[in-house]
Structure 1
Amino acid sequence: MSILIEIIQGIGAIALTLINIYMWVVIIAALLSFVNPDPFNPIVQFLYRITNPAYSLVKRYIRTNFNGLDLAPLIIIIGLQIISVLLSAVLRAL
């Protein structure tokens, strides 16, 4: 039974790492939106391709544009932080 718990904790640790990486991707994409980068740059295209599904999901349910400032990245980061805290608490309880 302890092997199963360790496998679950390992998968949970990988999930937490992926959540943290995605949070940084959202932060970088949000910061790039302030400087208006070249849309044909492959890195910029990758960042937008990765973050746009999450942005569109949040924008579908919540009004995020306030006075020209898009708060979708902030909402996504807060949601990911909540998921991260809950997942780490569950993993510690095992």
Structure 2
Amino acid sequence: MIQLFQFIATVFTRVIEVYSFILLAYALLSWFPGAYRTRLGDILGRLAEPYISIFRRFNLTFGMMDFSVAVAILSLQLIQMLGLRLLGFLMVLFIR
């Protein structure tokens, strides 16, 4: 039973890490003119924009800098932390 919880925690952590990397790669595309119009830019945009759009509603732009992606990545880290704590709590309940 413990191995199942460890497997779930590992998969959950890896999914959050991969998606954080996708968000970071999408943000880095802004440094290259026309990068969003490439095949890679299209794929990353389809994956990243739905989640980033949640944070763009809060107008996190200061000057020329948009901090929506940074806040999105930080919120993913918070979700990861809370999810792992919840999983640990559930593990303690089921192990008893």
Asked if these proteins are the same fold (TM beyond 0.5), I'd say yes
State how 1:13-92 maps to structure 2 within 5 Å.
13-60=10-57, 62-92=58-88
State how 1:7-18 maps to structure 2 within 5 Å.
7-18=4-15
What displacement does 1:80 show? 0.7
Aligned partner letter, 2:13: L
Contact 1:9 1:91 in 2 (8 A): no
Between Structure 1 and Structure 2, how many residues are aligned? Answer: 90
- Of the structure 1 ranges 26-35 and 37-46, higher mean CA displacement relative to structure 2 is found in 37-46
Aligned partner letter, 1:23: S
- In the superposition, the TM-score normalised over structure 2's length comes to 0.78
- In the superposition, the TM-score normalised over structure 1's length comes to 0.79
In 2, Cα distance between the equivalents of 1:72 and 1:39?
Answer: 17
- Of the structure 1 ranges 27-36 and 16-25, higher mean CA displacement relative to structure 2 is found in 27-36
State, as a whole percentage, how many aligned pairs show the same letter.
Answer: 24
- RMSD, aligned α-carbons: 1.9
Counterpart in 1 of 2:94?
Answer: none
Contact 1:64 1:70 in 2 (8 A): yes
Contact 1:16 1:87 in 2 (8 A): no
